[in-house]
Amino acid sequence: MCSTWFPWRPIKLIFKGLPDSALVCNDYNSNFRRSMLVPTHEAKPTSLMFTNLSKKASKHYTISSKSISMEDLKPRPANSSPLTPLGFLERAATIYGDSPSIIYGDTTYTWSDTHCRCLQLASSLSSMGIQRGHIVSVISPNTPPMYELHFAVPMAGAILNTINTRLDARTISILLTHSESKLIFVDQAFCALIHDALALFPPETKRPMLVLITDDAAAEESSSSCIMIHDDFVDSYEEMILKGDSDFRWIRPVSEWDPIVLNYTSGTTSSPKGVVQCHRGIFIITLDVLLEWEVQKQSVYLWTLPMFHGNGWSLTWGMAAVGGTNICIRKFDAALIYTLIRRHHVTHLCGAPVVLNMLTNSPTNRPFDWPVKILTCGAPPPSEVLLRTESLGFDVTHGYGLTETAGPVVFCSWKAEWNQLPTKERARLKSRQGVRTVAMTAVDVVDQKTGKSVKQDGVSIGEIVLKGGSIMLGYLKDRDATTKSMTEEGWFFTGDVGVMHPDGYLEIKDRSKDVIISGGENLSSVEVESVLYMNPSVNEAAVVARPDEFWGETPCAFVSIREGLTQKPTEEEIIEHCRGKLPRFMVPKTVVFMTELPKTSTGKIQKYLLREMAMSMGRAKHPRSEGKK
């Protein structure tokens, strides 16, 4: 009854001296001490009466107009501190102070160390003039400094921008100018790259300060290039920590909507866009992912996913929340990964489907004695790849998200009854993207013309739209793209197309830009790819549109073949393999073999490059007899 009256309802009302029969909401669980009912002679009668007061009680008690009514109960400072993930670190230092926070080669830090180092770094940043709202960039692989900067930079009030290490100098130069970065932390392996990027700055543009991150493990690869520009650095990372004050009072956000990170998208479909996320959004997604992926306290997390990729899907902050151990590595190396999983008894790791593929194809792969949980996201995982990964003892969780959502916000939440199904069927179910996380408000698939929800039949295609607390604030300096992607009705348009299955699970069919239209019919490149992956000789597959003289467009498959095969398949054999499993119009008409498919820095296949190659082949020609579907 109470909840229908007041949006901010009390959990329990305690009225001193009132008989039990006068308690209005006596079923709830926590304390709310406020005398709302007073003897009638002290208060003016009001029309608002509690209907379940006993007759006797209602005679003596009525609502005081002097007291605070339900409507007046508003947020107060005690319950309105801005949400921020930065507080996770202080807490981790209190609870897990002596436990390892980061292991990197022979170096181990504890949570006390990490807390202290981040405060010292934040203090040094402040001393150097870094202030609230400034952008501070970092280019580094997954090293301890890269992890620490996720706390230290926003603790100085600034906004962290992690730069993708695989970008070229020209793109980095554009991003740094666009972000107006004030300072860049540069791992020594990337000195030459940053040097080249800065050389491309327009003449009048102010240059950022540079701080050098030295690393013995990187020394070999980068010593000469680092000496070249050594004088350009204002300081070194470790010096800044030494100079810093460990009692520094970190700068809390004024509002939870204050920006905390700027991340550029992968650039799979167009130039990278600068996504800005706030403290609140990151707080929400971090807890959401931990809950959905069932990350236990003091888990051991191996950093196979680059932290520059959406801040490692927010698990950078997540590991502090659970006091886990971060195992850092500079490079993806399947043999090293298997060694580290065993050495440190790793419990969790993440990776785009390409990482799963590399792990399963590695000659060093061997099953584990304990379940190693792996979260895959970032691209559609073919069911064959899921199957192979699980057969090694990995427990795969499949999530879907974008840089714009700060991590996975849709998960293929697993149902116990599915464990009874045959393995192939399980893998097929798991390749679906799934259901919104608890912190997301809603997910839908809408018709691109009418904007109405499509039928929940697993066939009707529409655009995937999302709403929830971790959707970005917007794209930096791009009002048009921001308003286009987030409508007044409250939806964020993902640019992905998919279907909603009758059981409420979402499945992506393609990115809008990758849909192939053959003879007027939309064709999902993802479906064709998953059939190609069923061929045991196929290592990687991607399908794009090739202009076709008769159909307008037809599927063109690019494949790489597994290493070590004595007999490689022919184009006709690959086409024949698809014929048995796909409707005729979906069967690739062209197959191109490549040693390796081109990928973005986040491991996604660069379909726009393949599309350009397919375009350059000219229109596919057909004998007249092929003009039937």
Judged by the rule CB under 6 A, the positions of this chain that interact with ligand ATP are 265-270, 272-273, 377-380, 398, 400-403, 433, 494-496, 508, 511, 602, 604
Q: Within 13 Å and on the Cβ side, how many CA atoms surround 301?
A: 34
584/197 Cα distance (integer angstroms): 48
620/587 Cα distance (integer angstroms): 14
Q: Which of 240/282 has CB closer to ligand ATP? A: 282
Helix axes of 111-127 and 144-155: crossing angle, nearest 10 degrees: 50
H helical segments located in 73-215: 87-96, 111-127, 144-155, 169-179, 191-199
110-141: b (≥16 Cβ within 10 Å) or e: bbbbbbbbbbbbbbbbbebebeeebbbbbbbb
Helix axes of 353-361 and 383-391: crossing angle, nearest 10 degrees: 50
Q: Which of 241/402 has CB closer to ligand ATP? A: 402
Q: Which of 256/463 has CB closer to ligand ATP? A: 463
Q: Which of 222/405 has CB closer to ligand ATP? A: 405
Least distance (Å) between residue 399 CB and ligand ATP? 6
- Cβ neighbours of 320 (radius 10 Å): 29
Structure tokens at 557: 């498959």
DSSP 230: G
Structure tokens at 171: 């793109």
Least distance (Å) between residue 511 CB and ligand ATP? 5
Q: Which of 535/606 has CB closer to ligand ATP? A: 606
Least distance (Å) between residue 408 CB and ligand ATP? 7
Q: Which of 273/279 has CB closer to ligand ATP? A: 273
Q: Which of 269/453 has CB closer to ligand ATP? A: 269
Q: Which of 210/440 has CB closer to ligand ATP? A: 440
Least distance (Å) between residue 449 CB and ligand ATP? 21
Which positions ≥6 away from 419 have C-beta within 8 Å? 426
Least distance (Å) between residue 508 CB and ligand ATP? 4
Least distance (Å) between residue 76 CB and ligand ATP? 38
610/367 Cα distance (integer angstroms): 35
What are the φ/ψ torsions at residue 348 (nearest 5 degrees)? -140, 145
Q: Calculate the alpha carbon distances from 32 to 35, 66, 155, 306, 506 in Å.
A: 9, 18, 35, 47, 42
Which positions ≥6 away from 129 have C-beta within 8 Å? 182
Q: Which of 316/494 has CB closer to ligand ATP? A: 494
Least distance (Å) between residue 357 CB and ligand ATP? 14
Least distance (Å) between residue 463 CB and ligand ATP? 11
Least distance (Å) between residue 153 CB and ligand ATP? 21
Q: Which of 326/403 has CB closer to ligand ATP? A: 403
What are the φ/ψ torsions at residue 118 (nearest 5 degrees)? -65, -40
Least distance (Å) between residue 431 CB and ligand ATP? 8
Structure tokens at 496: 């992905």
* Kind and range of the H or E run holding 494: strand 492-500
